[in-house]
Amino acid sequence: MKSMPEIFLVRHGETTWNRIGRHQGQLDAVLTLDGVRQAEHVGNQLKREIENWDSVRLFCSPLFRCRQTAAVICDTVGTNFERLIYDERLKERCFGDWEGLTDREITAQYPDAWAARERDLWNYIISGGGENYPALAARVSEWLDEQPANCQIVLISHGQTGRALRFRYCGLNPEEALNLPVPQNIVFRLFEGQSHSLDANQ
């Protein structure tokens, strides 16, 4: 098995759409004040954990909520925001026709499709160009395979993208991956095929 880098995985802070339960997918919303505080909290976790920021590779989803989160983290740890590397493969999973809708709106407008997805959360493809988890895992794996071993990476991304990365990195099965927590105020350290939270309570 190919050696993999040490990755500090971060989900963006809470957004206005997170707060009211709208699926963002590859659309965007801005951080709430709580989301900014979460990003600062994450930055402080990283600051305690990482000593040499000059050698760390900083990757970020190009979606604005991740850019905002990354800016706060960079300010908190004292590193240059311009070092961030944006990669399209790190975007959130596309929710197709369901982007911008709440669960209630989806079940009202697409009841049969919602029921089909509930029967197979891993493989179901949402209409309108949506991605299932295998497609998401494939593009995240492509990014991971390009990263050299024996380096440190800080990655600011998304909830479901982070699940797909841990699925691949830790060799999980789909059920395990679907049950992974995706908090917005916690860093997950991925190292030697394992994942653990920097917060002892997670």
Active site residues: 12, 92
d(CA 15, CA 109): 24
Residue with tokens 């794996």: 141
Residue with tokens 């997918």: 25
Phi then psi for 127, rounded to 5 degrees?
-65, 160
Q: Quick one: which of 175, 152, 141 has its CA closest to 9?
A: 152
Strand, helix or coil at 156? strand
Residue with tokens 């949506």: 130
Strand, helix or coil at 31? strand
